[in-house]
Structure 1
Amino acid sequence: MAGTAFGSVVQFRDVLGGLHLHEPTSLPVPNQLLPRLRLVDRTAPLAELDAMREEHALAGVPAAALITGSAGVGKSALALAWAHTVRPHYPDGQLYADLRGHADDGPVTPLTVLGDFLHALGVPIELIPGELAGRAALYRTVTHDRRLLVLLDDALTAAQVRPLLPTSPSSVTLVTSRLRLAGLLAGGARGVYVDRLDTAAALDLLRDTVGAERVDREPEAATELTELCMRLPLALTVAAARLASRPNWTLGEMAAVLAEEQRRLAVLTIGDDMAVRSALDLSYRALRPDAARIYRLLGLVPGATFSGGATAALADIPAVEARRLLGILTDANLLTDTAGGRYRFHHALVRLHAAQLADTTERADTREGAVARLLGWYLGTAARAERRLRPYRTGLPRDAEPRPSEITDFGGPTDALEWLESERANLTAAVTTAHDRGRHATAWQLTDAMWSLYLYRGHHMERLDVERTGLAAARACNDMEAEGKMLGRLGLTLNALGEPDEAAAHFTVALNLWRRLGERDREAGSLRRLGVVAAALGDKEQAITHFLAAIEIYREEGADRKAALALVELGGVLITQGRGADAVIYLEQARPGLTKVDDQYNQARLDIMLGRAHAGAGDLGTADEHLRRGLEQMTALGSSVGRAAALEALGELAKLSGRREEARHAWEQALSILDEPATATTARLHTHLNSLNDPH
């Protein structure tokens, strides 16, 4: 039988019993373009784009265009309008990414965008490589023969764009940027400059929004209004929206108000930005007082997005009212609603405008109170998520800010973990903001509350910065217990990143702190972590000594769960010594201490360790059972770190059994799940893979 297979292929000889193949539902062809925006008189640049596409089609090479111009000039509108026109020529998909080149929180990385694009093109998440080079290579492979249209909005650098260019000669890429990205132009991209509208086109845009009758009734005022808006589509659209909502205003009145606003803003802005900001000021003045207050306060939000719950806390209003006001601001084109019920400012200039209004309109104590309520909401909600994920962690200090009046709850651990993941950037920004504003207790408590997220998902490089801030905040509080906790957190991250010596230094400082405080339970924790580091450094005997000392203290203190964790880590060291049978004995002692507190994560971790121990003892069948159960549990918990650990061990078992290709697949899958190129685990996985190249 000959032909091409799509999906899974199974080769077999004899089948005993039933055979069931379950194919995952394939993703639809990606159609990610945003809706077409209003476009007026862009005949020349549209013709340039048409010519570019035709020339590259004849040459048989991928087409790319760099659309540049000032803020608010209509680059995105032009790109979207042309993309919608030519989309029938690209039936294999249209991809879109906002690269956020000028966002306050920094641009989006090509690593992130490639992950989204590959998944949209049908690559399962578990097969997407973790490092940029691997994702870029897979993207080139996947796009090689596809007819794709890619729109990359608001790019900052050529390096941000290059990995995102498809390789198919039947593809086209549109890039918008305020900057002339010489690196892209040198690589063959066609430069398309978008200038301000001419007067006639600006008047047409005004007519589209407020009606031809009003514009033609006051031609001089209409022309003056377009000039005050610098003939920029964004500024004109905002000003026209205000006129449309005020039918009794004349264009002359609007022009007079806009001229006054420009004089007021002249000390803050120059050139085209002033036209945009003055138009925004008019939009702001048209808001009802409650919506205007929300708009100002949102300028204080440290993160890039905000939900109804966060906004409610910020403004001290009910969540239902917050969502209503967010809708009003969205209708006014000041905010954009995003996935997951969150919002962001429509443009970086809008955010700056709101922040300036907050600084000039709100009293300092009002601003501080709003930020404190927001930080309290993040802390309280993160703590609630933490309790859903790890209910046995009780008595934790989470009292740095008053408890919010309304707090997000979660149906279960999965919802809690997804909230922590989706709010990760905002929580990180909140830690920094709290520390910078002198709210040090909030900063370290919020860092500690994020522990479950890091335990399940890793994010080690990002976590390193957060925990360094948390340690600095704890020390600024002169809180020795907080300092000890943050030293332990930071040490674990450093060890995971392959820095065991620095990790040991942090654990040693923490150990001395706990001994001074007489905290025996915490002292044992530092000993246990020093054992982990000793194992990483290859000093197995020292590691065993530390673990046994920690277990003795834990048992004296009645800390059964923590004793079980030390037993698991002791078992891990015995496995590396070739003492699999001994490891099984200690690991089985750990089970009661984990089951009595319903610690599902560490129960799954125990199964993975038991699988490795039984493999070391030669019982490969029992090893496989434990490892597959551990993988199933970690998958159900949503832990990428745990899944990778199970897959690494399954790969070791497959290699031990002579199934080298199965081992390769398991290790490659583990690498793709971790999405972190700089950790000790990823380095170890690469070593495993390299070992398969040795025929012996």
Structure 2
Amino acid sequence: MTAPTPWQLPPPRIPLVDRDAQRDDLDARLSLAGATGRPTRYLVTGVPGVGKTAFAVDWLNRLGARFPDGQLYADLRGGDSRRPDGTREVLAGWVGALGAPSVPEHIDHLVGLYRSLTRGRRMVVLLDNAGTEDQVRPLLPAGDSLTVITARRRLPGLALDGYHGIELAPLDPEHDGLALFAAVLGAGRVEAEPDHALRIVCGCGGLPLAVCLTAAEYASRPHRPLRDRPHHVEGIDTITDTIDDIVAALPDDAKTLFARLGLHPGTTFTPSALAALAGVRRADVDPPIRTLLDRQLLAPGPASSGGETFVLPEVARHPAAAASRALPQEEQDDARRGLYLGYYVATASVAAQLLEPEREFALNDPFPSATTEYLDDVAAAREWFDGEHAALTTIILVGCDDGCPEAVHLLVDRQWSYWLQVRSGDHVVTAHRAGLRAARLCGDHDAVGRMLTSLALVLPAPESTEALDLLTEAENLFRAGGKDLFAARTLHYRAVVLTKAHRPDEAAAAHGEAIPECVRLGEPRVAGLGLERLARWAHRKGDHGTPAVLAAALAAAAHSLLTTARDPMNTALAALTWAEVELACGRRDNSKKLVSAAERTLRRHYPRQVPGACDRLARWADAIGDPARATAYRVEAAALRAQAHDGASGGTA
């Protein structure tokens, strides 16, 4: 009697959405393999619950006519040696299904019989939930059969066996995830409570299995509103348990790294950050990273000019957080300190040095064994600050509670130039208040003084009274500690606050007090900044009898001091002031030269200053009788401010 054709694929379980691109890719590769005679072998990977089996079954069932000699299926159970479905049991069942009258005892003989029986047949073989490459290889059929493997791991070694890999990502909750939820539950209930439906789908992490199980739970209770979230959905625990099993089987180095990932304040990780978090050298973090990538507990992140980045898959976030909470408190504290100080403060210091070369930062203090990113220019420094903005903000807000106040005030200090040049907003004031609190907790008087002065400078004009009080406290603190240079700087900052508060004559008097002290104490940069402000004040006073030549002399002196201090941004801004005054003095050609040089520097290196510079350049163009150029500057300033409002760089000079 002839054995029946085996037809073992399980029936479809859940509706498929958002998998057309992957299905089309497999169709195209299958056609190419048929034309070239290559093996037709495919590996479908993804996190637990992403729908690997459903996708594979759906695609293979569409190919029945092309593979008429049967379908073989085995659930390999992730290679778990504690479970009974081993290789021999799978092969024994298959050769019996293919008509073998008896089953050889020896595994090698069994593999040989299996391949003899599949040679000359066109079959489909689905190896579901594979655990290792070695587990898969004895189950590969001979001849022209099609083999598909699903696995939670990436199994890179199968590339040697001719496998093409496809990785399934979670669904976009707002579109395909919501569509799947509606397909199972019914469109009417989703349309009645769309916001609650979307929150439910987002809570499922875009995983089709979780979405379907949750929808089925609601479907079983037709009058339950979607706003009433179930505390427990039967079946979803299976996904969590699977992740826990994967984590439990990790090597020690990968297990440590995964547990500490829950302590990271951001969502995107660089290798250097992970090394600091794990407390190892940069070179030693690569093996656990590879392991976590292979187990789908870490995924490639967005592209970055600084190199590769990684993210936690949604399904792994809660397990990572739970693993972090289970760590001893001392280990949590050490890991956070290594990350906050040994990576973030250290790299922020490197970035700040590039943005503010005239200032010296202690790059290896206070964490000598720091692991930093390689940043080689101003653009790279800004990109790092941009990319880590969310993580830096989180550390600043929670660092004191995490027992690392030192990191808080240092990160506020290191971002000063970045905030001036690129990013501003209310969060900067909030960050400085947190930095001041942290400095006081540390008992570091110098840090308290720096936070007092920088907070005073970022406060808005209506809060100038508080700003002046902060500067008075800072000056007294610096003088009590014998820091005369820092005290002199607070006089300059007082003038800046008074200018912002529209009290120009008081500001000029404060500059007049600060400038000689700064010159005497060897601080040309602050003296130059003060002279530039005085030049502006004198230029505006020109209508009331102040000679323009005085304003020109002040602007020239400011330009010279700032050039000496190697401060190109403020040198360019001083050049604009000097150009305005030179025009008032009738020196038109020199005014044009100064404008050209300043505009070139600001456009090339300091985009946040360009809108404000365009305002000044428009007034200058009006003064030289060039209305078309003035209009062009005003249009550009308006466009850049619109971009800044949408989150791009912009601001005022």
Task: Report what 1:634 is aligned to.
Answer: 602
Task: Report what 1:114 is aligned to.
Answer: none
Check conservation: 2:16, 2:55, Cα contact below 8 A: no
* Distance in 1 separating the partners of 2:255 and 2:378: 37
What CA deviation, in whole Å up to 9, does each residue of 1:203-234 have, x standing for no partner?
A: 837989xx97443799xx9xx9xxxxxxxxxx
Aligned to 1:566, what secondary structure does the other structure show?
A: helix
What CA deviation, in whole Å up to 9, does each residue of 1:450-490 have, x standing for no partner?
A: 11211221323332222121111112223332222112112
Does residue 475 of the first structure (1) align with residue 440 of the second (2)?
Answer: yes
Residue identity opposite 1:419 in structure 2: W
Check conservation: 1:631, 1:642, Cα contact below 8 A: no
Residue identity opposite 2:330 in structure 1: D
Does residue 334 of the first structure (1) align with residue 294 of the second (2)?
Answer: no
Task: Report what 1:487 is aligned to.
Answer: 452
Task: Report what 2:612 is aligned to.
Answer: 645
Residue identity opposite 2:256 in structure 1: R
Task: Report what 2:57 is aligned to.
Answer: 204
Structure 1 residues 556 and 295: CA distance shift in structure 2, 3 A? same
Equivalent position to 2:135, from 230, 247, 261: 247
Q: When the two structures are aligned, how many residues end up with a matched partner? A: 468
* Distance in 2 separating the partners of 1:525 and 1:217: 71
Task: Report what 1:613 is aligned to.
Answer: 581
Residue identity opposite 2:276 in structure 1: A
Aligned to 2:373, what secondary structure does the other structure show?
A: coil
Check conservation: 2:607, 2:650, Cα contact below 8 A: no
Does residue 600 of the first structure (1) align with residue 568 of the second (2)?
Answer: yes
Deviation at 1:424, TM superposition (A): 2.5
Structure 1 residues 270 and 671: CA distance shift in structure 2, 3 A? farther
Does residue 559 of the first structure (1) align with residue 412 of the second (2)?
Answer: no
* Distance in 1 separating the partners of 2:75 and 2:355: 64
| CA RMSD, Structure 1 to Structure 2 (Å) | 4.3
Check conservation: 2:258, 2:320, Cα contact below 8 A: yes
Aligned to 2:439, what secondary structure does the other structure show?
A: helix
TM-score (norm. length: structure 2): 0.62
Deviation at 1:334, TM superposition (A): 2.3
Does residue 282 of the first structure (1) align with residue 135 of the second (2)?
Answer: no
* Distance in 2 separating the partners of 1:471 and 1:590: 31
Aligned to 2:369, what secondary structure does the other structure show?
A: coil
Check conservation: 2:13, 2:54, Cα contact below 8 A: no
Does residue 419 of the first structure (1) align with residue 278 of the second (2)?
Answer: no
Deviation at 1:379, TM superposition (A): 1.0
* Distance in 1 separating the partners of 2:628 and 2:24: 43
* Distance in 1 separating the partners of 2:619 and 2:537: 16
* Distance in 2 separating the partners of 1:590 and 1:494: 26
Deviation at 1:310, TM superposition (A): 0.8
Task: Report what 2:174 is aligned to.
Answer: none
Residue identity opposite 1:451 in structure 2: W
Structure 1 residues 346 and 380: CA distance shift in structure 2, 3 A? closer
Does residue 574 of the first structure (1) align with residue 538 of the second (2)?
Answer: yes
* Distance in 2 separating the partners of 1:302 and 1:345: 12
* Distance in 1 separating the partners of 2:231 and 2:259: 19
Residue identity opposite 2:616 in structure 1: A
Task: Report what 1:410 is aligned to.
Answer: 375
Residue identity opposite 1:321 in structure 2: D
Check conservation: 2:555, 2:574, Cα contact below 8 A: yes
Deviation at 1:349, TM superposition (A): 3.9
Equivalent position to 1:270, from 232, 235, 239: 232
Check conservation: 2:575, 2:598, Cα contact below 8 A: yes
* Distance in 2 separating the partners of 1:539 and 1:300: 47
Aligned to 1:215, what secondary structure does the other structure show?
A: strand
Equivalent position to 2:514, from 536, 542, 550: 550
Aligned to 2:358, what secondary structure does the other structure show?
A: coil
What CA deviation, in whole Å up to 9, does each residue of 1:171-205 have, x standing for no partner?
A: xxxxxxxxxxxxxxxxxxxxxxxx998x9948837
Aligned residues with identical type, % of pairs: 22
* Distance in 2 separating the partners of 1:633 and 1:683: 16
Structure 1 residues 436 and 532: CA distance shift in structure 2, 3 A? same
Instruction: Give runs of aligned pairs for residues 21-420 of structure 1, distance below 5 A.
Output: 77=18, 201=54, 204=57, 213-215=72-74, 243=131, 247=135, 270-271=232-233, 274-337=237-300, 338-340=302-304, 341-360=307-326, 362-376=327-341, 377-394=343-360, 396=361, 401-420=366-385
* Distance in 2 separating the partners of 1:445 and 1:411: 21
Check conservation: 2:75, 2:129, Cα contact below 8 A: no
Task: Report what 1:125 is aligned to.
Answer: none
Equivalent position to 2:403, from 435, 438, 446: 438
* Distance in 1 separating the partners of 2:260 and 2:22: 34
* Distance in 2 separating the partners of 1:573 and 1:305: 47
Instruction: Give runs of aligned pairs for residues 442-591 of structure 1, distance below 5 A.
Output: 442-495=407-460, 499-578=463-542, 580-591=548-559
Check conservation: 2:608, 2:650, Cα contact below 8 A: no
Residue identity opposite 2:57 in structure 1: D
Structure 1 residues 306 and 44: CA distance shift in structure 2, 3 A? closer
Aligned to 2:340, what secondary structure does the other structure show?
A: helix
Structure 1 residues 390 and 336: CA distance shift in structure 2, 3 A? same
Residue identity opposite 2:632 in structure 1: H
Task: Report what 1:663 is aligned to.
Answer: 630
What CA deviation, in whole Å up to 9, does each residue of 1:23-70 have, x standing for no partner?
A: xxxxxxxxxxxxxxxxx9799786xxxxxxxxxxxxxxxxxxxxxxxx
Q: Which of the two has higher C-alpha Rg? A: 2
Structure 1 residues 310 and 645: CA distance shift in structure 2, 3 A? same
Deviation at 1:309, TM superposition (A): 0.8
**Unaligned 5+ runs, structure 2:** 1-10, 27-48, 62-69, 84-126, 140-148, 153-209, 211-229
Residue identity opposite 1:388 in structure 2: L
Aligned to 1:350, what secondary structure does the other structure show?
A: helix
Q: Larger relative contact order (C-alpha < 8 A, sep ≥ 6)? A: 1
Structure 1 residues 438 and 654: CA distance shift in structure 2, 3 A? same
TM-score (norm. length: structure 1): 0.59
Of 403-412 and 485-494, deviating more is 403-412
Task: Report what 1:63 is aligned to.
Answer: none
Task: Report what 2:206 is aligned to.
Answer: none
Deviation at 1:398, TM superposition (A): 6.6
* Distance in 2 separating the partners of 1:348 and 1:413: 34
* Distance in 1 separating the partners of 2:76 and 2:243: 25
Residue identity opposite 1:604 in structure 2: A
* Distance in 1 separating the partners of 2:76 and 2:397: 54
